[in-house]
Structure 1
Amino acid sequence: MTARNVLTTKFNTLGFDGVWRDAVGEPELTGSWIIYGDTKNGKTTFAMMLSKYLTAFGRVAYNSVEEGNSRTIQMAVDRAGLLEAGARWMLLDRESKDELCERLRRQRSADIVFIDSVQFMDLKFSEYKDLKRRFPTKLFVYISHVDGRRPSTPTALRILRDANVAFRIEGFKAFPTSRYGGGRPVVIWDKGADEYWGPEVNGKTKS
């Protein structure tokens, strides 16, 4: 391909705006993203917030492998206001890898798939690559536990290195790294972020 061919290639990009464009830029509806962080720092809440925003660009399936259809997931769905997403968002209750693949082969299946979590799905990196190969027009968003400040399993760490977008969650803020630009953190919960970082660090000044 010539440089002109490369520069005139059309990609299925998502017209993000506001805080999401500042965080991620203008990403593609393909490939993989990862969200990783310690427990009780806002990871699930952020994943739900992101999944709601992405319903503006396609149908979203959230595979809650770890918690299933539980009270904690119900609370996170409520906090994110996902009722507004209607039929464009659905929760999958602990679907296995095979069940998920069977679902994604159907017509009008989800365009965007959240897998929560890499560890509870017991995903191998070869299976991760196979999902990308078999469903090249879908976007996969993986949620991972951490060991220190990095994803806690070899598979999750390799997904981090391969992902086009990564969000590190700490103190109710999401710190993005994106191949599409952006880079500005997203505040998940103002009060929690203020208490963790301090109002000044969290971009505020005391009155």
Structure 2
Amino acid sequence: MTKPKNRAYSVSNIITKKFNPLEFEGAWEKTLGKPDKSFSAIFYGGSSNGKTEAAIQVAKYLTNFGKVDYDSLEQGVSATFRDALVRNHMENCKNTFRLLDRMPFEELIKRFSKPKSADFLIVDSVQYLRITKAQYYQLKELMLSKGKGIIWISQAKGKSPKGALADDILFDVDLKCRIEGYKLFPEGRLNGGGEPYIIYPDRAKKYWANIT
């Protein structure tokens, strides 16, 4: 029988509780601070603003702290995704990065229920996974129970995530990262950080020069 989860903590329990902050450095520390390993985040933005590129770049950085599974639901194993991997020299990650080709929710649950599953999951995207709010919380609780991090990639409508579920995720996750003009703008429960992260320096410079 599974041991019931403790839901009641004293102040002393909380103060002495051990957490597992990721020792981010450099640009990612300036942007995301030092999140706990079981952090949750959403990266959202309009088409052709750099969402997938940002997701691959953070995936590459996370391989310094464990294994990363990237569920490519929109693009799958495609030439465009391959090109993004090549641009970011993902071959250097060796066995710490795995691309999941349009893996559905049920298979994700099975995969991350296993003892030696990856430390981090990136879902690209919320809209293409096609899950309910209850299923979202099921995956969230599984990742928390395993001490694993999850990043949701979402399309956007204007300056907000697209759809009711993506909107719910925005208000639930630790890190909220809006992407516009090849820059990532962080907010939320940051342990430090807060500075924008530049995804494509040349494209970002051109984009922001044209609207300022």
Partner of 1:107, secondary structure, is: coil
- Tell me the alpha carbon deviations over residues 90-141 of structure 1, each in whole angstroms, 9 at most, x when there is no partner: 1000011011111112231111000000001112221111112123211111
Note if contact 2:70-2:122 (Cα within 8 Å) is conserved in structure 1: yes
Deviation at 1:80, TM superposition (A): 1.6
Note if contact 1:45-1:79 (Cα within 8 Å) is conserved in structure 2: no
The match for 1:125 among 123, 133, 141 is 133
* CA distance in structure 2 between the aligned counterparts of 1:54 and 1:31, rounded to whole angstroms: 12
Change (3 A) 1:31 1:18: closer
* CA distance in structure 2 between the aligned counterparts of 1:26 and 1:7, rounded to whole angstroms: 18
| TM-score where L is the length of structure 1 | 0.92
Q: Which residue of 1 aligns with 2:89?
A: 81
The match for 1:193 among 186, 204, 211 is 204
Identical-residue share of aligned pairs (%): 38
The match for 1:55 among 56, 63, 87 is 63
1:153 aligns with 2:163: yes
Deviation at 1:54, TM superposition (A): 0.4
Flag structure 2 segments of 5+ consecutive residues without an equivalent: 1-8
Note if contact 2:113-2:142 (Cα within 8 Å) is conserved in structure 1: no
- Superposition map of 1:26-45 within 5 A: 26-45=34-53
* CA distance in structure 2 between the aligned counterparts of 1:73 and 1:192, rounded to whole angstroms: 19
Deviation at 1:2, TM superposition (A): 4.8
Deviation at 1:6, TM superposition (A): 2.5
Deviation at 1:31, TM superposition (A): 4.0
One-letter amino acid of the counterpart of residue 44, structure 2: Y
Partner of 2:111, secondary structure, is: helix
1:144 aligns with 2:144: no
Note if contact 1:168-1:175 (Cα within 8 Å) is conserved in structure 2: yes
- Superposition map of 1:173-192 within 5 A: 173-179=183-189, 180-192=191-203
One-letter amino acid of the counterpart of residue 169, structure 1: I
Give me the CA root mean square deviation.
Answer: 1.5
Partner of 2:41, secondary structure, is: strand
Give the count of matched residue pairs.
200
* CA distance in structure 1 between the aligned counterparts of 2:143 and 2:201, rounded to whole angstroms: 37
Q: Which residue of 2 aligns with 1:14?
A: 22
| TM-score where L is the length of structure 2 | 0.90
